[in-house]
Amino acid sequence: MWERVRELIDGAPSVAGLRHHGLELLAARIRREGGHSVPSDLRVDERRAAIRAVAAPVLLKRVRDAYDGSLVLIKGPEVAAHYPQPSVRTFCDLDLLVDDAYAAHRALTAAGFLEVGEAARYHETHHLRPLALPGLPLFIELHHEPNRPQWLPAPPLGDLFELTEPSATGVAGLRAPVRAVHALLIAAHSWAHEPLRRLLDLIDIGVLLRDSDRAIAAELAERWGLQRVWATTIGAVDAVLDDGRPGLAPQVWARHLAAVRERTVLETHVTRWAGPVHGMPGTRVGALRSGTTIFMRAARRREEERWANAMRRTCLAVHHAFRPQSQHDLIKESRTGR
């Protein structure tokens, strides 16, 4: 897998593409090992990552000391610990699944943690308002359930707290999901943002899964209603990072993965339809119908939006069909303020 990752990084068209896929630290390490100079902006990324890596266990110990309930660390430094070189896996916050997120939040604020971010953004979301300690460059996110697309059922919390093992970070009393569960949670979290969002998510899954874990992951995915999300994701892992047969997704609506670039506007719109179609539980016909409904709902005129503005927005999207999505968003915001 790592030889293939090196090939993808060497073929990346830009540093922006590497950052979009979470590969900037890996790219810096590969350039340095190859005797090449590392661009100054990537050296800055490395310094920031090193500070976070040092701060993470300190912050996690403070959380563990402040709250005596169940804490399960997901992603971030927990996945990084399974990399051959943990320092190349980037993260900017610490995600903790908690048996009582509200009690943990109260305990941490009593211990000196401060709330950050706008409170309204975290109303009825999967985690509470983030917390931070002054002087430490990481946020704590206390989850009362794992992140996933709204059209997927939540995995049973009893399973998530039972199927754990001691955290690879070495923080006493801190737990982590077993590898098969962790890979499923990463897949669902990735799809919550954008189906087959970035290479880092695929690499995380590839790093976590041993051959013996694949059958366990498939069985749990079936039980939790994640079977189609998981089948599409693990198919992309094999197709992009290994020698698996190219599946429909990497060839059609996730071409940005092998190209190590951002999705275009057109690809983003196709993904909003294809994601639910490929991921929703149930029959393919039912998923096709539901995915089309979700897509049409997103494409409708927004509340209090005038038809003229909706038409301008649609025309701009057509005109920018092959631009990177972020460029289109910046232009759209400058013209409409939205």
Same structural domain, 239 and 271: no
- Residues 262 and 17 sit within 8 Å (Cβ to Cβ): yes
Residues 295 and 239 in one domain: no
Residue 296 lies in a domain: yes
252 is written with which tokens? 């059609």
Let me know if residue 254 belongs to a domain. Answer: no
Cα–Cα distance measured from residue 153 to residue 171, given in angstroms and rounded to the nearest whole number: 31
Residue 24 and residue 58 in one domain: yes
Domain boundary among 216, 246, 276: 246
**Residue 252 within a domain:** no
Residue 258: inside a domain: no
210 shares a domain with 88: yes
Q: Check whether residue 146 and residue 275 sit in a common domain.
A: no
Domain check: are 32 and 60 in the same one? yes
Do 288 and 154 share a structural domain?
Answer: no
Question: 337 and 205: one domain?
Answer: no
Domain boundary among 182, 213, 246: 246
* pTM for this predicted structure: 0.86
Q: pLDDT per position in the chain (338 positions), as tens? A: 999 999 999 999 999 999 999 999 999 999 999 899 998 999 999 999 999 999 999 999 999 999 999 999 999 999 999 999 999 999 999 999 999 999 999 999 999 999 998 877 877 788 899 999 998 889 999 999 999 988 888 899 999 999 999 999 999 999 999 999 999 999 999 999 889 999 999 999 999 999 999 999 999 999 999 999 999 999 999 999 987 676 778 887 899 999 999 998 888 878 887 778 788 776 555 555 555 655 555 555 555 655 455 555 555 555 556 677 676 566 666 665 55
45 shares its domain with 80: yes
Written as one string, the DSSP assignment of 260-281 is TSPPBHHHHHHHHHHHHHHHSS
Same domain, 71 and 208: yes
Residue 136, CB-side half-sphere exposure with 13 Å CA sphere: 22
**Residue 255 within a domain:** no
Number of domains the chain contains: 2
Range of the domain at 292: 264-338
Residue 312 confidence (pLDDT):
55
Last residue of some domain: 218, 246, 274? 246
CB proximity list for 299: less than 8 A, separation 6 or greater: none
Does residue 257 fall inside a structural domain?
no
Same-domain check for residues 238 and 202: yes
